[in-house]
Structures are given as C-alpha cells and as structure tokens.
Copies of this chain bind each other. A is one copy, B any other.
C-alpha cells in the first residue's frame, strides 16, 4: 500500500456549476476571506507561533479577543470556548456537569451525537415525546413529563438538551418555554445550535439556555472540525475548570482544542456570519417559497407550519411511485438530479428526504424545482 500513495494527492471536489442542497453543506461554505485564511494558516501549529501557554489566550493572531469578547457577545452568553465541533462540545458539557449514572433528558428529535455524548459520559438518556407526522413537534411540556417521570423512577436528571432546530425536520421548538420548565425543575438546559448558531440570530440569555453549542463547519462558514461551546458563568466554571495535575490547563478541553487553521477561518468568516444572521427572515421566506413550489409537485413539507428554517423534510409519494418502475429503481432520483448537476439528496432516497435552501439564490432553487418537475413529468408520461 505504501508504494502507491500518489492517488491520495490531487484529489478534487467538484463544486463549480453544481447546486448542492445537502443541509450539512449549505452553512459551511467558506467565504473568500476564510479561503485566504485557510491557506495562510494551513501549516500544523501555525496559530501557536506566539502562544504563551493556552490557545484561547493567544493575542497574535487575535484569538483571545475573538474567543473571550466576540463570541460571548455573539451568543449572548457569559463564556465561550472553541471546540472540535458541536458533538465534542456536548460531550464536554455532559461529562463536566453530569454525575455518572445520572440522566440526560433530550428532545425526541435529538441528533444522534447527543445520544453518543451522553453514552460516552456514562449517562442514561430519556427522550421527550414527539408529535405524530407530519408535524414531528416537540411540546415543551414534554420536558416536564419526561423529567418528572425520570425522577419518579429514581433517576437524577442533571441536564436537559434541546436540539434547536432539530436536524431532520428543521423544527424550532419553543426554547424559552423549555428552559422555564427545566429551570422550574432545577435542571439546566443545553441548546444544540448546530443548525442555528451562525445562520439565525441566537441569544442564549433570551432563550434561557445555560449551555449552548454551535458548529463551525455546519453553520459558521468554517473549515472543520470546529465548534463553539458557551455557558453561563455558573456552568462555565465547571466545564472550563483547570486541571489539578497541570494547573494552567483547562481539563475538559485537554489543554487546547483548535490548534490550527480552522479557527482562523471562523474568525475570517465571522463578519460575514454576523451579517448573514441579520437576513434570516429572507432565508425563511425563501424556504417557504420553495416548499410551496415543492408541494405543487406533490412533494409535501413535513414539520411544523409555518416553517421557520431552511432545513426541510419532504415526503413524496409521487417520486416513490416512480421508483417502483424506474430503471435503477430507487436510485433514479439521485441519477437524474446528478445529470442536472444537482446534489445533496442521498442516493436511493425518494419517498422522503431532507434538503436546505440556505444561501442558495432563488434562481438556483428555481432550477431545482424545475428539474424535479421535469423528472416527474418524464416518468409520468411514459
């Protein structure tokens, strides 16, 4: 194997002329400034040339100001650190705040990494109810029911998690009510903002979140893996506690986290990211306009209505029926969209799939809708 390594160099990713509607990809596209930054700072420990002992205290480049001043203001929370991603942030918070064997209550739509973070921290997970289709709604009262039931069964509930929005339906639950209910029951709330922080305006304080995580590669135009982890002082003290063996290092972060270019891409993109959150209403309008068009084709939006996020889940009997007779069966949709340079719906999916309209032009979205209309027409005719 070690004789034939040239195949790992010069690997290309086709992006030019392509419309990518994968929700995972839409918010992580680098700005031109971040592209400059990634090249400028690409060497291994590049950001550590002027380190005096901790990454978050580096003043040249101005990481300290970014982490300790800018990010807390942006998230409206007391303290923030940069971590490897939202999942690593969730693990750090759970591992630091929850007693092993205790219980985390998460929304029924929680991302799988919430379950992994809890399991790796030695915690049980109880999930709140989700309403039936097509809404898949998280009722804040579900937190009260689930927390109280866990306590009744003898569990200690040390943390609640709300995925805001969830990564399947793009539903934004009433976070404020959730936090009130959790706080009534003396349970702190962590907000998983992987699909919100960097896309829409978010104030941890207003929503009552005690801890918040966001994803740089998912929603902050950053070269990943990178994320943010913010917390109110009370919880930040525990999560960002110093090591007993190495007293100048933050234990839960193993000293330093992002020791490379990713952080500089987040910084370089940040003025764009702040700006784009101000135009969130336009993104929501665009998503609604697109989903109306989809529904006219018989591709039906799931989730709460009116829909408030660019991430959308659709069900489509019409595409599923075509797959029953089409050449290549259920792969026809992927293949036919690929022919039209549209990517992002996973190969093999027809009956239901998610997509995102985030930062795509109406013209591109028109192309996507027209293509689907065209594909359906082709098969319906024959």
A285 touches B (CB below 8 Å): no
A330 touches B (CB below 8 Å): no
Residue interface bits A1-40, CB-to-B below 8 A is 1, else 0? 1100111111111010000101011011110011111111
Using A8-B66, A25-B44, A217-B44 as known contacts, say yes or no to A257 and B13 having CB atoms under 8 A apart: no
Contact A343 B267 (CB under 8 A): no
Contact B249 A116 (CB under 8 A): yes
Q: Collect the chain B residues with CB atoms within 8 Å of residue A260's CB.
A: 217, 223-226, 262
CA distance A258 to B84 in the complex (A): 9
A255 CB to nearest chain B CB (Å) = 6
Q: Collect the chain B residues with CB atoms within 8 Å of residue A65's CB.
A: 1
Residue interface bits A155-188, CB-to-B below 8 A is 1, else 0? 0000000000000000000000000000000000
A223-248 interface with B by 8 A CB criterion:
223-226, 243-246
Residue interface bits A22-63, CB-to-B below 8 A is 1, else 0? 101101111001111111111111101100000000000110
How many residues from A make CB contacts under 8 Å with B? 92
Q: Collect the chain B residues with CB atoms within 8 Å of residue A119's CB.
A: 243-246, 251
Closest 6 CB pairs of A and B: A28-B44, A44-B217, A224-B260, A5-B271, A8-B267, A9-B33
Residue numbers of A with Cβ under 8 A of B are: 1-2, 5-13, 15, 20, 22, 24-25, 27-30, 33-46, 48-49, 61-62, 65-66, 69-70, 73-74, 84-85, 87-88, 91, 95, 100, 112-113, 115-120, 125, 216-218, 221-226, 243-246, 249, 251-252, 254-255, 257-262, 264-265, 267-268, 270-271, 274, 343
